[in-house]
Amino acid sequence: MLNRLNHIAVAVTNLDEGIKIYKDTLGAQVSKKLALPKHGVTTVFVKLAITKQEEVIGKNTVSAMSSGIYWGYIGLIKNILHKIKSELNYKMLVLATGGLSDLFINEVSEDIIVNKDLTITGLFIAYEEGKY
């Protein structure tokens, strides 16, 4: 299951109606309203569980949105890997990083090495090398 998406903005003409749809129709958790007068907007944060759908075409709103997000990311990953390989013109090592990598790698037909802690490991190595 995709645990969370981060920083996706959706503009609505009526925030209360938008909140109702996200809560009642999609089963999302919605935060309290937060006014940002400097930017002229009021925001809420939405936590929406997205699960892998076996079928690309959803049977209802929730499964269609889940499917679109999940399979959209699979297509994005496959396409960018294809384009990078075409530009470099050689077989490359593919690393998947981050907490959501397991969600996607099985659908990408590549030999992929998963290292969820690559960033923090790299920072630690840089710290260790900088101590001397």
Inside any domain, residue 20: yes
43-61 burial, b at 16+ Cβ within 10 Å, e below that, comes to ebebebebebbeeeeeeee
The verdict on residue 10 lying in a domain is yes
Is residue 123 domain-resident?
no
Question: Residue 79: what pLDDT?
Answer: 94
**H helix intervals, 7-117:** 15-20, 61-88, 101-105
Range of the domain at 26: 1-49
Residue 105 falls inside a structural domain:
no
Number of separate domains in the chain: 1
What is the predicted pLDDT for the residue at 132?
62
Task: Give domain status of residue 17, yes or no.
Answer: yes
Q: Per the domain annotation, does 43 fall within a domain?
A: yes
What is the residue-level pLDDT of the chain in tens, covering all 132 positions? 555 555 567 788 899 998 998 888 777 889 999 998 998 889 998 887 667 788 899 888 778 888 888 899 899 999 999 999 899 988 888 888 877 788 888 888 768 888 888 888 888 888 888 876
User: In the prediction, which pLDDT does 52 show?
Assistant: 78
Indicate whether 111 belongs to any domain. no
Instruction: Judge whether 77 lies within some domain.
Output: no
d(CA 40, CA 38): 6
Question: How many other C-beta atoms lie within 10 A of the C-beta of residue 103?
Answer: 19
